[in-house]
């Protein structure tokens, strides 16, 4: 530990700015917006150090780590919020999911766990407990084009 007590780091603001430029340059060759945020964090630490040159190296490193993490998490949060569809009709193009919770009459008996129902003129495969033709079933989930059903009393 005596090494750290005697260690003096002569980093100035332009060292951080060079590190930031190097990281931004890496981003050009390795796209993905990861190194971009690390470079920006280094630039911000350099800017802080420009206004407060007496900042210790420990505080500089902690600031860099916190700014890097904060910017990466903020980017991920923003990206997730932009890619998540915001609509008042989330099942619009997911036809099978629209039937979950609704009840229908079996068109073909469920034998060995498989049968068929007719919905709006279309025949759908169903899976569930063995039931005779004409039984009322409730759709509990949709697995692709196959509806999972249960007996609806």
27: enclosing H helix or E strand: helix 13-29
Could you tell me if residue 134 is inside a domain? Answer: yes
Could you tell me if residue 89 is inside a domain? Answer: no
Write out the residue range of the structural domain in which residue 137 sits.
Answer: 95-151
Q: Tens digit of pLDDT per residue, the chain (153 long)? A: 555 555 556 788 999 999 999 999 999 999 888 899 999 999 999 999 999 999 999 999 999 999 999 999 999 999 888 887 777 776 667 788 889 999 999 999 999 999 999 998 899 999 999 999 999 999 999 998 899 999 998
Q: From residue 115, give the alpha-carbon distance in Å to each of 79, 112, 122, 148.
A: 42, 8, 14, 10
Note whether 100 and 74 are same-domain residues: no
136: enclosing H helix or E strand: strand 136-143
Which positions ≥6 away from 38 have C-beta within 8 Å? 23, 68, 72
Note whether 8 and 74 are same-domain residues: yes
**What integer pLDDT is reported at residue 94 of this predicted model?**
78
Could you tell me if residue 88 is inside a domain? Answer: no
Note whether 11 and 52 are same-domain residues: yes
**What integer pLDDT is reported at residue 101 of this predicted model?**
93
Note whether 144 and 104 are same-domain residues: yes
């Amino acid at each position: 530990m005596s090494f750290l007590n005697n260690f003096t780091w002569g980093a100035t603001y332009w060292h951080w700015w060079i590190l930031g430029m190097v990281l931004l340059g890496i981003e050009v060759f390795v796209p993905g917006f990861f190194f971009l945020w690390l470079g920006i964090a280094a630039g911000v630490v350099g800017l802080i150090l420009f206004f407060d040159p007496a900042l210790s190296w420990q505080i500089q490193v902690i600031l860099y780590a916190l700014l890097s993490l904060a910017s990466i998490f903020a980017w991920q949060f923003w990206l997730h919020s932009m890619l998540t569809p915001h609509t008042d009709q989330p099942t619009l193009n997911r036809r099978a999911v629209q039937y979950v919770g609704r009840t229908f009459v079996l068109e073909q008996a469920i034998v060995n766990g498989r049968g068929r129902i007719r919905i709006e003129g279309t025949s759908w495969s169903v899976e569930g407990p063995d039931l005779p033709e004409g039984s009322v079933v409730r759709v509990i989930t949709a697995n692709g084009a196959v509806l999972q059903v249960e007996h609806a009393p």
